[in-house]
Amino acid sequence: MAHGTLPVSQEVMESVRDKIRRGLLPQWAFSDPGIYQAELEKIFYKTWQFLGHTSEIPKSGDFVTRWMVHDPVLLLRDTNGEIQAYLNSCSHRGAPVCIEDCGNRKTFTCPYHGWTYDSKGELIGIVAGNKVYGQEMDRSQWALRKIPRIASYHGMIFGCMDPDAPSLEEFLGDLKWYLDILLARTDGGMEVRGVPHRWIIPTNWKISSDNFGGDPYHTAMTHRSAVELGIAPQDPLFASYGHQVVLDHGHGVNMITAAPGLKMPPYQGLPESLWPMFERNLTAEQRAVFKNLVVSVGTCFPNLSWVSPMHGTGGPGSPLTTFVNFRVWRPLAADKIEVWSWVMVDKDAPEEFKQESYLSYIGSFGPAGTLEQDDCEIWTRVVEHSRGYMAQNKDISYNNVLNYLMGLDRVQPVTDWPGPGVAYPTCYLDAISRSFYERWAEMLLA
Amino acid sequence: MSTVSATNVTYGDVVRLLFQEAACLDRRDLDGWLAMLADDVVYRMPLRITKDPRTGSDIVEGMTFFEETKVSLRTRVERLKTTSAWAEMPPTRTRHFISNILVDDGPEPDTLAVTSSFLVLRSRRDSEAVEQVFGERQDVWRKSDEGWKLVRRTIYPDQTTLTVLNLSMFI
């Protein structure tokens, strides 16, 4: 397998990058297996990947098993309380040292030959060790392999395969300002409820990443059933109000507000007991944006997305409750992803709110969510219908490019946005999508 | 055929009840299905995880795929009846295979505790893929003047990672 080699010439890829700047994307980006292989090496092994939240492993010995695309990861809190991430594959013959999803352990014994490791990754036990390997084998050479980089930001733990990658904080860049509004607004920070939802969707990772990152426009049609039901507003522009903010490194966020004149509770209806904490933990500029926020939805390039909407589950007129949902679109193939979806809530929130927030999430997102159901189905249809000759034709002509033209040269950034990034005065805009795919093309070209 | 003591119902009666319910779902008679649910129904589907069995249950009760009341289930059904619930427009085809039915006295008078295995197969559009979800259901059914009503259903999937792309159907 030609890992990392592009299935198109450098010249064609450069023209793809130039086209996406002008709002055109070749449809083969969604389904070409060669592009997928190149993405693994040039994008996924170079960027920070979300692994889990500190609240999932609060105590020494707590562990979860995760995946960085195709690399198995054992993420744990060691005996010193430090977070560690190892390749979950025995240094002896490669079997996983742990196949449980989560738990608490002091040691991990490989079931193949019995090599045992401690929470520092050290090889501390070998069956019949001295008799078969003698004193000469240096056990310290055969520790669990560490994930090259690991770092966390407000409880969000990331790993990176590239030892030379910029730091996590550098990678997140201006996105931190917007993440803080979700993750760092209350004194105690966020906690994950239960375990993540996991399910398989036969689609391409970019479709879901770009949908959350740059596509509030889809809500009017994809989620029209909510309009028909009277849960979502009739106004087809309802998800356009607010600002789309293009951030560096391919990240993007939509800070959606209510339609002009429509009164919504401040701070997404979060309990008033938390408001003094917003004063303490957020800047005046962040609070100014947060106060009018209805939905925060975006993507941290390449494949970590979030949505924090206000949603009701009881039908028309039922109260709207907000939640914070992060998800990783783990690519399994060009046409297959595994979704990992975590719901989080402020630790300091009243128990009653935590329960309402969870119910709001279950009703709208996750595989049974009334909004998510339709997204998954349509993303699947896109990939199924992008495999043919016309879609795969690598001549970048108008016959096989898709339309990312919305707002190009037409919508100008605002000058008075209080946050970082380039903010546009509408969320029905392909500015983030163009930036996302430009970053994608640049990384493939690198 | 033996009867369950408290309710004087035969095993065959219970089997017929579950098959009637499955038929409602597979024939898309969702109003008929709702009518089989008690107004105070609690309908849940917790997550399954892989873990060391010595450290407790592999069911995570605190996180679910479904955490429903009659009101929220009715909202789901009403949504599916719109013209734009794309997951089911055009409708998928499902087949609910219900088996391994065990019947016992329920926790309250006039109730039955019914455990069953389920295998739901689904076909979408012209896709060659056969989607499936399977596991166990633990029900409580209550006798009422309008027949038996489902009071509680807990659905335990056998998969930790669902291979259905969504749960736009009921189990």
Nearest to B75 among A102, A224, A315 (CB): A315
pLDDT at residue A287 in the model? 98
Is residue B15 situated within a structural domain? yes
Indicate whether A254 pLDDT > 90. Answer: yes
Structure token digits, residue A22: 């002008």
A1-48 confidence digits (pLDDT tens): 445 689 999 999 999 999 999 999 999 999 999 999 999 999 999 999
Interface confidence, given as ipTM, is: 0.95
Q: CA A72 → CA A51, A75, A159, B75, B116, distances in Å?
A: 11, 10, 12, 40, 35
Is residue B169 situated within a structural domain? no
Is residue B65 situated within a structural domain? yes
Averaging pLDDT over each range in A311-315, B43-47, B123-127, which range is the top one? B43-47
pLDDT at residue A2 in the model? 46
pLDDT at residue A136 in the model? 87
User: Which residue do the tokens 């029209």 mark?
Assistant: A224
Is residue B71 situated within a structural domain? yes
The Cα B65–Cα A199 span in angstroms is 11
The Cα A91–Cα A207 span in angstroms is 36
Is residue B162 situated within a structural domain? no
Q: Where are the beta strands (DSSP E) in chain B?
A: 3-4, 9-10, 37-48, 59-68, 93-105, 111-123, 131-144, 147-157
Contacts of A380 in chain B (CB under 8 A): 165
User: Which residue do the tokens 């522009």 mark?
Assistant: A237
Mean pLDDT computed over A109-115: 97
Q: Pick B1 or A95 by higher pLDDT.
A: A95
Is residue B164 situated within a structural domain? no
* Parent domain of B89: 11-157
Contact A368 B66 (CB under 8 A): yes
- Shortest alpha-carbon distance between residue A336 and chain B (Å): 10
Contact A229 B55 (CB under 8 A): no
Nearest to B49 among A101, A222, A366 (CB): A101
Structure token digits, residue A20: 């996406």
Does residue A217 contact residue A240 with C-beta atoms inside 8 Å? yes
Q: CA B52 → CA A56, A97, A102, A103, B24, distances in Å?
A: 17, 13, 9, 8, 39
Rounded to 10 degrees, what is the CA torsion of B129, B130, B135, B139?
120
Nearest to A102 among B51, B65, B66 (CB): B51
Q: B162: which DSSP letter?
A: B
Q: What is the CATH number of the domain that holds B110?
A: 3.10.450.50
- Give me the helix-helix angle, A175-183 and A284-291, nearest 10°: 70
Mean pLDDT computed over B95-107: 97
B122-143 confidence digits (pLDDT tens): 999 999 999 999 999 999 999 9
Is residue B143 situated within a structural domain? yes
Contacts of B55 in chain A (CB under 8 A): 103-104
Is residue B170 situated within a structural domain? no
Say how many domains are in chain B. 1
